[in-house]
Each structure stands twice: as C-alpha cells, then as structure tokens.
Structure 1
Amino acid sequence: MLEEVPVQMSVVLGSSQLPIRQVLKMGRGALIQLDCGYDDPTEIYVNDKLIARGKIQVSGDRMSIEVTDVIRRGR
C-alpha cells in the first residue's frame, strides 16, 4: 500500500547566496562556491524535512550517498 505514495527527496551538498545580477550573468560552465567543505556532511530531505545526513561517494562516473546519521524526531 505504501509503495505507491509519492515523496520528494532532495540531497543538499551546500548552499550559497548570490545577487540576482550575478545569477543572470552566469553561463554554461559557471562555478558556484558553496558554504561547505569536502568532508562536511550532506543533508537528505524528504518532503522538505531533514531526515538524515551522509557522505557523498564517487565510484567512476556514479555518485551515491552513504547515510551516516538518521535524524530522530520526538513523538
């Protein structure tokens, strides 16, 4: 029954704040510096709620995320 319930999942590597004029000037290949380092945890959201943190893993041309911390919610 639950297998058919749609959810939206987002994986957030980091964030950045840019003026709109800078965003409008960007072209293909533009680089955006994020506010995180290589070893910082990546956040995993489901339906806009933080549910876990993890580390990005790269193997060849494939990327995955290793879940390192599940966020527990009080009832």
Structure 2
Amino acid sequence: MDEAEPPATGTSEGTIPFSEVPIEIRISVGHARPRIRELLALTHDSVLTLDRGVNDPVELYVGDLLIARGELEEIEGDEDGALAVRLIEVIDPGAR
C-alpha cells in the first residue's frame, strides 16, 4: 500500500508559499438605502448619505466574513490624501 504524500509546504519552482497568497480586504464605511428614483437621479456631485458618521468605526471583511474593525486615517505626508485603517478590534476566529 502506497503512503500518501504530505501536502507541499516549501517552495519549488513556479509555486509560492500559502502565506504569500494575496487576499482582498473590503472596508465598509457605511450603507445607504436610497429609493430607486433617488438612485436614478444621481449625477456628478450628488451626495449619498450614509448611516455612519466620519468618526465611526469601519468594518474589514474578507469575502462576507467580518475580520476586524478600525478607524480611517489619512496618511501623513501623502500629497494625494491616501487613506489607511488603524485596527481597533480584531475579531476572534473562535467567536465567528
């Protein structure tokens, strides 16, 4: 009887370690619930009101899974006003 080979954990030519696989994190700053007529009336410079304030925490998701909460920050010294998120709570995987 042949023994099954364990999954590869190292790198070989053409592969990357699992921990190096990039993932996408979605940041939710709020939600809006406009009526269809309001949505159809949106134009350049329209304002869509969200259900949160500027200083309220944002939520970080991987897919549909909430992984953390944080606060938006503007990166100092960045001429374009780039944003970052300072984590204030990381969700315990066991609590999900």
Report the TM-score, using the length of structure 1 for normalisation: 0.85
Cα RMSD (Å) of the superposition?
1.6
* Alignment gaps of 5+ in structure 1: none
Partner Cα separation in structure 2 for residue 74 and residue 62 of structure 1: 33
- The structure with the largest strand share of the pair is 1
Query: What is the aligned partner in structure 2 of residue 53 from structure 1?
Result: 69
Partner Cα separation in structure 1 for residue 23 and residue 38 of structure 2: 33
The count of aligned residue pairs is 74
In the alignment, is residue 44 of structure 1 matched against residue 64 of structure 2? Answer: no
In the alignment, is residue 63 of structure 1 matched against residue 83 of structure 2? Answer: yes
The structure showing larger relative contact order (alpha-carbon pairs under 8 Å, at least 6 residues apart) is 1
Tell me, what secondary structure is at the counterpart of 2:55?
coil
Aligned-pair CA distance for 1:13? 0.5
Aligned-pair CA distance for 1:39? 1.9
Tell me, what secondary structure is at the counterpart of 1:34?
coil
Task: Report sequence identity in percent.
Answer: 31
State the structure with more CA Rg: 2
Query: What is the aligned partner in structure 1 of residue 33 from structure 2?
Result: 17
Partner Cα separation in structure 1 for residue 61 and residue 67 of structure 2: 6
Deviation by residue 1:6-39 (Cα, 9 ceiling, x = unmatched): 5332100011111111111101111111111122
